[in-house]
Structures are given as structure tokens and as C-alpha cells.
Structure 1
């Protein structure tokens, strides 16, 4: 049981310390902050594109009807 608790706690500690490691890397390498910023902006933009109302509203009915008509012959 203690081993399972350890398996659950170690990834949690790793995730909690992640911001500290990122800040340390940014301080040592100044261009990393620009790359991280661009990565965050790209991720947010892609997320907005995926979650927008216009996404995924394709109308397959005409093609479906055509395919059914072709298969029924």
C-alpha cells in the first residue's frame, strides 16, 4: 500500500516542481522564454480554434445521398 502511495506522490511532486525548473531554465537561457511564450500562444490559439462554434460543422448529407444512390444501382 505504501508503494502505491509513493507511486502517486512522486509524479505529483514532479508536477509541483515543474514551474521552478522552467524558471531556472529561462534564467539560464534567455531565448527559451521566447520559445515558451510562442508555444503557449500557439497552444491557446489552437485551443480556441478547436473549441470554436464553427469547427466540426461539416454537412455530409449531399455526399451521403450520392453514395447511397451509387451503391443502390
Structure 2
């Protein structure tokens, strides 16, 4: 089973065996905690990345707005 989507989840870089690895950003939010709980209850895995990358390549961000 594969579930794809943008859940606005930030789930931290703490290792949780069989759920997620450490190569994520350090921040965790409420949606991240819900995603981790859902995955652990349903034996799912979070696959952001399993390799060490520079921070600029591990997550997306919103750029500066262009003035009118």
C-alpha cells in the first residue's frame, strides 16, 4: 500500500524503528505526531528520505513574494 500526499506534517529526525529514519528536518508538529501515530497503528512507514542530504535538499520551502 502506498499513500501519497502533502499532510503538512513535520515529523522530526528521531529514529522510530520500522516507521521512519533520522534524515528529516528537526521540527515536529501536531500533524507529524498524528502521522507517526497513524503509521505505527497501521504498520506503515514514512519515507521522506533514507539518505543524508544537505538541509536545503531535505524539505521544500516557500520563497519570498514578488512585490506588486
**TM-score > 0.5 by shorter chain:** no
Greater CA radius of gyration, 1 or 2? 1
TM-score when normalising by structure 2:
0.24
Which structure has more relative contact order (CA 8 Å, sep 6+)? It is 2
Structure with greater proportional helix content: 1
